[in-house]
Structures are given as structure tokens and as C-alpha cells.
Amino acid sequence: MLKLAFFWHMHQPDYRNKDGIMQMPWVFLHAIKDYYDMPWILSMFKTQKATFNLTPVLMEQLELYGNPTAYDLFLQLWIMHPSALGSSERDWIVKICKAGNYDTMIRPLERFAELYSKENYSEEEFIDLEMQFMLSWCGTFLRQNNTTVAQMLTKKRDYTQEDKAVLLQALGKFVGTILPYYRTMMESCKISLSTTPLTHPILPLLIDMQNAKIANPHAPIPNSPISLLEDAQLQVSEAIALYKKHFGKPPTGLWPAEGAVCEQSMAIFKAHGIEWISTDEAILFKSIGDQNRTHLFRPHQFDGITMTFRDQGLSNLIGFDYRFSNAEDATNHFIDRLKAIKSHHEDATVSVILDGENAWEYYAENGYPFFQKLYQKLEKSSSWCKTVTMDEVSQGKTYPLDHLSPGSWIRGDFTTWSGDSEKNRAWEFLFDARRIFESRIDKISPEDRQQIQRHFLELECSDWYWWYGDDHSTSFALEFDTLFRRHLIDLYRLMQTNPPADVFEPIGKHISTASFMVKPQSPIHPKIDGDNRLFFEWIGAGSIDETRLYSTMERERGPIEKILYGYDEEGNLYLSLLGNLEMFSASKCHLNIIFEESKRRYTFGLNSCMIDTPFRVRIKKQIEIKFPPLLFAGVHPLHLRLEIECGDKIVQTLPGYGALEIETSMAYQKNWFV
């Protein structure tokens, strides 16, 4: 019997300032869209089980929405009449309202799509924009079961201030039911619950920054690091206390933030009574020095704690790839992958672990059709496959693990959170402040010490270091940077000493100009030879920088780093893929080209260097493709998507944000630079 363990990780950073006011609304928005929907969909199926991880800072912020406008800056502004807002406040509301995925959240609401492209709004249009935005974030449960949400969706336009007040009251009341619902599900043994150290810190880096070097010897570490071992212990004990407050007993399991582990952190977990943790397959393979996947499908035990390791391929299919497929095809593919595992590993335990909130806004109907099909098919597969909770896995047979390599769920190292100059600068700010605190501790009152300690714990959150540097991009980077530095400034003032001058300047130097996409500027006429000697052939092409496209979620980095595209006067479309092509010569790799409108799919091997039907392809130093206009005649705009597949694993989808929209009308003028 194959045992399938779904593990959904629910987390948002702590957006509160020193006054306890959340500076961004993402906790509330995911609350009305994801946190209730995920266990609710599971509850519809008799035999299906799963594990949910709720982080402490998420639970703390959810509690505040008993009065929605009291602790959320965005909602305080959203509820106001547009005439009472300043221009910067209006601009910020519009920025938030346009932050959702266009194809799945905005386009389905006709009025929202109509308003989305506008820059200036009348007061009536502004209220419609606010309402349509809030309704677009309402999940399936609310749409099907909440009378107020259903009525507001039916109304479609011409909303009033009263409508806003009625909707917000209904949503605030709903958010208050989320944590009790999880407790009910846990007590009925339908789900297991776990948590994460308090503020979602990278514990191995707090304990010893040298763990970054052990995991990746080439990674630069911050200057003059110090151990924050006591903070690491406090992060765990405080998390357990908060979990117990909500669920009546301490947690049995943990998802260490970002799956980050080391042997020292495991000792802390053991000292606090944790029975199991989960992390990534890369940690297992580094620990045992063996890539044999037989080991992956066995629960292990290290120092008395059961460990499960996520199957990257299966987890990434759900997190990144199945959004491009219909529910039936995606589910069939997933079931086939499980059957293939079972055919080689009769008693396999398969751990599918991923973000439980961010992926679904890229799925049709917030993933509801997909999960309906998936759980339905798993119900029918009960003769050979059953879903289990992580608590159940921990009670079964385990295999000893003698050594544990430090690392995280991304590449098995810590370079996502340290090594880059900006990331390291943020760590150095933290370490410098801690030294000053230790030198002045006798001069600080107990009340201020307690506040200072909380600021330190907040500054240790992994999310700050995720957004610094060039490896992730968000239009809200400036807001994150400001929140991080505000903690530092408040901390120094509590220590009754002046903050360093550079704390008042953004750490992230690129954050105001970050961009990953440039549209075509003029016709191009490249020679399709796979060479990059004549770079000027692509001058005027559009470009997509894939290295900037890793945002709230991340999969393993793919080989393609940049896409160039454009067309000539005759309507031929040109595409160039740049990156590390070395893997293609040694692997059985294919490039799949999908035309979204017609659903036509073309596949060719990447170890060939010349393909001429139905279009011209050359592979040398880069991949270059010429598409004749007959392939997409009459389609405007054209939506193109690519997949790189090696063996039976999709290693990259291109572009990383979805389908590439190509304006086949070739109206370049609006894109010209002067």
C-alpha cells in the first residue's frame, strides 16, 4: 500500500508595526481565500487526510481580525470614502487592488477587468474597483455559502459605501471561524496540525552562521557573525506556547521555517518534545551521500525524531505546473506518477509538501476544480493508495539517519537567505544591534528588554532575507525593506541610543527599479544558428529575465535564465532561450512548445542541434526558434508557453509567471524608448 502524505504550509510574515498595525493586507486576503478553503475541500471526502502547518505569526495576526479595521492599515483606508483619501493613499490602494493574478482573479470579473486598465477613477469607479478586488479574493467556500458575498458578486457594479461596510463585516466574522475550524478538524483526526518556530526564522543560521558555509563552501557569510542560540531556543518555546493556546495541547510536529535544519536545531526540537519534522529531499540525499530515491520513500529517524522528506517533483507539479492543465489531465498525471512510484517501491511513503496558499491564485477558480478531481480520484484508488497524516507516518516504521547535513528546502543550502551583499548587510545590522544590546543590557528596564527581545525575534524572520538581493522580485520590496528597518530603528530607540545613519536608507538598492520584462521595441531579423556572436541581431527584441521571477514561491532553478522574443515585418516570430545548456547534452531532455489558444503542442529533443519542421530550431550556445506566421494566423494576441522536460520531470516552465502574451499586430510605437 502506498501512503501519500499531503502537507500544506500556511504562512505570512508579520506585517505589524510597533503599534500593532499590519502594514499590508495579505493575511486577511489569504484568510478569505485559502485558509478555510483548503481544509474545507478536504472535508468533503470521507477517506482523505492531510497535515496543515500554521505558523505562529500567522495565527497571531488572524486573531486581530475580530475588528478588521482596528489593526489593518489597508482596510482602514479601504473602508473610507474615496473623497477622504489623499493622492498617495489612493495610489497605494490601486497598487494593492491590481496585485492579483489577472487571468484567474481579475479577468473572470467583468467589471474588475474593465477597471483594471484605467489609471484615473471617478469616486464611483474607485468604489467599484475596491469591491471587485475584495470579491476577487473571496474563496469558493464564501462564494457558495455566504449570502453577503453571493449578493455582492451578483450586483457586479454601482456599489456604495454601505456595501463596503456590509461586506467587510461579513468577512471579518468569517475570519474568526478559521482557527476553531482547524481545531475541530484536528480533533476529528481528519488532519494533523503542526507549527513553525515563532517568527519563521532560519534556525541553523541563528545558531551558527558557519552552517551556511558547511552547506555551500562558496557562499560568503556576513561579517563578524555571532551565535543567537538563545533566540533559537526561544523561537521554538514561544511557538509551542502559542500553538497550545489555540489547540489545547503542544504540537507533535514542526515544519522548520524553509525546511531549514541542522543537527543543533534537531537537539532543540527534541528538548521541546517534538516527535517529527519534515524537510526537503535535498537534505536527505546530502546527508546520506546517495541519490537513490528508494531512501526518499522511507521515513527516517534522527536522534529520536521522525523525519519525512518532500518529493520535489510531485510537490512542484502541484505548486507550479498543474495550473496550466485542466483538472482532469492534471489529476490523471499525478495519479500516474504515484502508480510509477508504487511499481518500484511497494510500501512507499510519499511526502508532498508545499505552500498551502500562494499557488492557488494561479489556478482556475482558486484550485477548487483541481482538488475536487484529485481527492475524488484518490478516493477511488483506495485499494493501492491511501492518504495519511504526518502524525500517522511518525507512528510507523522508520529508518535510522546517522548524519544530518545543514540546509533548506531550496537547493539544500542557505543562499536564498545569506551570501548576497544585501542579505548579508541585513544580517550585519542584526548582529551589530545585538552587540549593543548586550553591552547596555544593565541600563535597560525589564519592560523595554521584553520589547527589544520581540524586535530581535521579528528581525530573525526568514522573509526579510528572502526579498533582499537579486534572486527574488516583488513590487512591494520597498514596503518590506521599510518594515525591516523600522524594527531596527524602534529597537535602537528602546535601547536609548541613536540608530546608525545607514539604517535610515534602503538596504535593497534595486527595489525601486526592479523589472523583469521589456516588450519588443522594433522589428528584428536574427539569423537562426544557435550562436550568440552577433548579439545586435536581437536588438529591439522583448526580453524576460527569469532570474527575477522568483517571488513568494520558489522551485528549483531551471537552466534558462533569459528569454528574448520579437517578430519581423512579415509576421515571423523569433524566440531565443539563454542559459546553461550543458545539461541537455548528457540528459534526455525535451522542449515542449504550447500554443494556448489552439492547445497545439510541439515537442523536440534538446540534444539535437537542428530541427526544421514545423519551424526552424537551432541549438548551440543558445536555443533559437523561428515560427512562421501560418502557425498562429488569425490569433491576436498569441499566448505561448514552454516546458523543459528531462526524463519524466518538468524542470522549468517558461515564462515563470505564466503564458507569454505576444501582440501579433506588431504595434511597436507604444513600446519605443526615447
C-alpha 457/C-alpha 10 separation (Å) is: 19
DSSP 671: G
Distances (CA, A) of 531 to 79, 525, 578, 623: 56, 14, 10, 8
pLDDT at 515: 56
DSSP 205: H
Alpha helices in 262-367 (DSSP H): 263-271, 281-288, 312-316, 327-344
Q: Are 57 and 12 in contact (CB under 8 A)?
A: yes
pLDDT at 665: 59
> How high is the mean pLDDT in each 10-residue block of the chain (674 residues)?
97 91 96 98 98 98 95 97 96 94 94 93 98 98 98 98 98 98 97 98 98 95 96 98 97 97 98 98 96 95 97 94 93 97 94 96 96 98 97 97 96 93 96 96 94 96 90 78 92 92 79 62 84 70 76 62 88 90 75 84 78 79 88 80 80 78 57 34
pLDDT at 569: 83
Of 627, 614, 639, the C-alpha closest to 576 is 627
pLDDT at 202: 97
- What region, left, alpha or beta, does residue 206 occupy, with left being phi > 0 and alpha being psi -120 to 50 degrees? alpha
Task: Return the H-helix or E-strand segment holding 127.
Answer: helix 123-136
Instruction: Count CB atoms within 10 A of the CB of residue 495.
Output: 21
Strand pairing category for 253-254 and 2-10: unpaired
Evaluate the omega torsion of the peptide bond into residue 251 and state whether it is cis, within 30 degrees of 0: no
Residue with cell 519524466: 648
pLDDT in tens, 602-626: 888 887 766 666 788 888 888 999 9
Handedness of CA 238, 244, 250, 256 (dihedral sign): negative
Rg (CA), the chain: 25
pLDDT at 534: 58
Q: Are 89 and 44 in contact (CB under 8 A)?
A: no
Q: Are 413 and 219 in contact (CB under 8 A)?
A: yes
Could you tell me the strand order of the sheet in which 623-627 lies? 517-518, 542-545, 560-567, 573-579, 623-627, 616-619, 610-611
Of 89, 122, 199, 101, the C-alpha closest to 453 is 199
pLDDT at 533: 61
DSSP calls for 438-479: HHHGGGS-HHHHHHHHHHHHHHTBHHHHHHSSSS---TTHHH
Residues shown for the chain: 674
C-alpha 205/C-alpha 195 separation (Å) is: 19
